[in-house]
Amino acid sequence: MIPAQLTSGPLLDSIDIQIEVPAVPQEDLTRTARGEPSASIRARVTAAHVAEAIQYRRFDRG
């Protein structure tokens, strides 16, 4: 394995990764299960932004 610091952009661009994945069953593609409501996702993201702002304020006083 080549250490990351020794690889250059063109070398990395020439590396292809191939993986095999199983087929997704048709019923998984067509089911109408509801996901998490946008409002709860929005609340979680807002809470994360507030926590991040508090964390950065601690560093700014430093």
Per-residue pLDDT of 5-15, as tens digits, reads 666 666 666 77
What amino acid is encoded at 37 in this protein? P
Of 44, 27, 28, residue with least CA distance to 36:
44
Predicted TM-score (pTM) of this structure: 0.44
Is 48 part of a structural domain of the chain? yes
CA 31 to chain centroid: 24
Is 62 part of a structural domain of the chain? yes
Task: Please tell me the total count of domains within the chain.
Answer: 1
The pLDDT-based confidence of 57 (bands split at 50, 70, 90) is confident
Q: What is the DSSP letter of 5?
A: G
- pLDDT for 21: 93
Is 7 part of a structural domain of the chain? no
